[in-house]
Amino acid sequence: MGEPLMPPPPAGKASSRATTALILGIVGLVCCPLCGPFAWFMGMQEGKAIKAGQSSAAGQGLATVGMVLGILGTLYFVFVLLWVLFFGGMAMLSALSSAASQ
């Protein structure tokens, strides 16, 4: 008969940086795309800290999700910026050409 299975040791609490990366990622995707790059950076830094043993491994999931949401938020921010610049520029050119033709 084999030995009884031991429960895994407690993982500890996730760090506040992992939680902050997750929150910034959600905010960056939902309402403020400017938060996306910050979530990406914080999630990446926290992932490195976890791999180096400087932070609790319990925050790995939160940091990863925060980083992915940060990447998506950053892409969303870039597309919004291009949209505004392109169509804003087109509207300005249209207004200038109609004003010049009068």
Question: pLDDT (tens digit, 9 = 90+) per residue, 26-62?
Answer: 999 999 989 999 999 999 999 999 898 888 888 899 9
Task: Pick the closest to residue 43 from 81, 12, 73 (CA basis).
Answer: 73
- Can you give the pTM of this predicted structure? 0.74
pLDDT for 1 equals: 55
Question: Is pLDDT larger for residue 89 or for residue 1?
Answer: 89
Task: Say if residue 94's pLDDT is above 80.
Answer: no
Task: Say if residue 12's pLDDT is above 60.
Answer: yes
Rg of the chain's alpha carbons, rounded to an integer?
22
> From CA 82, how far away is CA 71, in angstroms rounded?
17
Q: Per residue in 56-87, pLDDT tens?
A: 888 899 999 999 999 999 999 999 888 888 88
CB burial of residue 44 (10 Å; 0-12, 13-18, 19+): middle
Task: Say if residue 9's pLDDT is above 60.
Answer: no
- What DSSP assignment string belongs to 41-87? HHHHHHHHHHHTTSS-GGGHHHHHHHHHHHHHHHHHHHHHHHHHHHH
> Residues with Cβ < 8 Å from 29, sequence gap 6 or more?
36, 69, 72, 73, 76
pLDDT for 96 equals: 72
